[in-house]
Amino acid sequence: MLSMTGFGIAKISLPESELVIQVKSVNSRFLDIKINLPRDYQFFEKDVRELIKKNLSRGNVEVYCSKRNSAKKSKTEIKVDKELAKKWLTGFNKLKKELNLKDEKPLLLDVIKSVPVLSLHEDKSVSASEKKQFLKTMKDAVTACLAERKREGAALKTSIKAQLQVLFKETQSIEKNREKANKEIAQRILDKFKKINSDLSLDTARIAQETSLLVEKSDINEELVRLQEHISECKKLLNKTGRVGKKLDFYSQEMLREVNTIGSKSQVKQLTHSVVNCKSVIEQIREQVQNVE
């Protein structure tokens, strides 16, 4: 079982730079991928996205890659537009003669600064070897994130199993008090009939029949059986290796539905106490399964 929470980091030193790749994931209903790459590697976004899809099926996944170039081996070059410089110098000399300028050097420097004669050029090309190393480092980061999700998933599995066991014990307590609850309900109904008709002997059979029907409507056996079945299904899912988060979430909602129905029918103190405990445990389970892939 996998959690949707994880973090992985991988680094590599290239001949001219150093890469640091981080992959972070948190829970989400679907797979939502956000990728932040240096301009050099933006053409590889599709490859990165496919790599993540192969390994992760749900979660909000953020990928961040930083690339720090070596100062000694920088790809940045200064380019000089000689033809443009010559034209500006010719024009400047002509203007110098016309205006009879003597101390022209400071003025010439100011002109050169304002003219785009010098420009920075950075080589953005990425070799096949560098691309291969980048994708390998990305895979290492994703693998590290996946390992963290597995570790967190194992912890969630242990916790949810323990909570399901607590929930099952509460259903056993409910089952023990069910007959007592039905008897108390039947007695209350009979007491009401006594107030309406003091002479029960006139229609005892009819009163017994009506009492039985009302008790049957208030009986929680059907909900209890379904609740225990849902618990059993959840335990089975926890032992599977596939993506079980959505199914666990569905069953946790169904368990809460059954417990709420039992609570609405409950008129016995012991049952009400068990219902409150069950709801508390199921809410904890629901909160945790939201993070299961």
Segment 41-84, tens digit of pLDDT: 999 999 999 999 999 999 999 999 998 876 555 555 667 777 77
Residues 137 and 61 in one domain: yes
173 within a domain of the structure (yes/no): no
Residue-level pLDDT at 242: 82
Helix (H) or strand (E) run with residue 122 in it: strand 118-122
Domain boundaries, position 115: 76-122
Q: What span, in angstroms and rounded, lies between the C-alpha atoms of 53 and 49?
A: 6
Q: What span, in angstroms and rounded, lies between the C-alpha atoms of 171 and 225?
A: 9
Domain count, the chain: 2
Q: What span, in angstroms and rounded, lies between the C-alpha atoms of 264 and 218?
A: 9
49 within a domain of the structure (yes/no): yes
Q: Residues with Cβ < 8 Å from 177, sequence gap 6 or more?
A: 268, 270, 271, 274
240 within a domain of the structure (yes/no): no
Q: What span, in angstroms and rounded, lies between the C-alpha atoms of 235 and 224?
A: 17
Residues 88 and 42 in one domain: no
270 within a domain of the structure (yes/no): no
166 within a domain of the structure (yes/no): no
18 within a domain of the structure (yes/no): yes
Residues 67 and 141 in one domain: yes
Residues 68 and 80 in one domain: no
The answer on pLDDT for 245 being more than 70 is yes
- Stated pTM of the model: 0.70
Hey, what amino acid is at 251? Y
Segment 180-212, tens digit of pLDDT: 765 666 566 666 666 666 555 546 555 555 555
The answer on pLDDT for 252 being more than 90 is yes
167 within a domain of the structure (yes/no): no
Residues 53 and 95 in one domain: no
Segment 265-287, tens digit of pLDDT: 777 777 888 899 999 999 999 99
Task: Check which CATH number belongs to the domain holding 135 and give it.
Answer: 3.30.230
- Give first-to-last CA distance, the chain, whole Å: 7
25: how many CB neighbours lie within 10 A of its CB? Answer: 28
